Amino acid sequence: QVLLVQSGAEVTKPGASVKVSCKASGYGFTTYDLNWVRQATGQGLEWMGRMNPENGNTAFAEKFQGRLNMTRNTSVNTVYMELSSLTSEDTAIYYCARGSGSYEFWGQGTLVTVSS
């Protein structure tokens, strides 16, 4: 079955960076885009960006331009999301989700806490 398994919770300080991984299994890794969506406590879903694992092409929401990066390692079927210059407003659950239009499969979420 399709599984997206994310790395564990992170606690980090303002100004630092965080890198979260999303390991895919149960399907052809390069067949579908992988997206990152975040959700602050009590808030809605926010699309951050997406990557085509086949060619590495990315698209980022304007809000995150300049401090968001996505990479992949096709040998281990994993996509990475790195967010830099963190502030307390980046404290949220970060999800990876598979798809180009709709997202049928989601990771379990990774809580990132930014605190001094």
Partner 1 sequence: SYVLTQPPSVSVAPGETASLTCGGNNIGDKSVHWYQQKPGQAPVLVIYYNTDRPSGIPERFSGSNSGNTATLTLSRVEAGDEADYYCQVSDSFSDHRVFGGGTKLTVL
We find the least distance from the C-beta atom of residue 114 to partner 1, in angstroms, to be: 21
Nearest CB to partner 1, comparing residues 89 and 104: 104
We find the least distance from the C-beta atom of residue 38 to partner 1, in angstroms, to be: 11
We find the least distance from the C-beta atom of residue 14 to partner 1, in angstroms, to be: 26
Which backbone phi and psi does 90 adopt, to 5 degrees?
-90, -5
Choose among 67, 72, 88, 62: nearest CA to 22.
72
We find the least distance from the C-beta atom of residue 19 to partner 1, in angstroms, to be: 20
Give the 3-state secondary structure of residue 31. helix
Nearest CB to partner 1, comparing residues 80 and 94: 94
Nearest CB to partner 1, comparing residues 71 and 105: 105
Q: Are 9 and 113 in contact, with CB atoms under 8 Å apart?
A: yes
Nearest CB to partner 1, comparing residues 16 and 63: 63
- DSSP-assigned states of every residue in 75-103: TTTEEEEEE-S--GGG-EEEEEEE-SSS-
Q: Are 59 and 68 in contact, with CB atoms under 8 Å apart?
A: no
Residues interacting with partner 1, by CB under 8 A?
35, 37, 44-47, 50, 59, 61-62, 95, 97, 100-104, 106-109
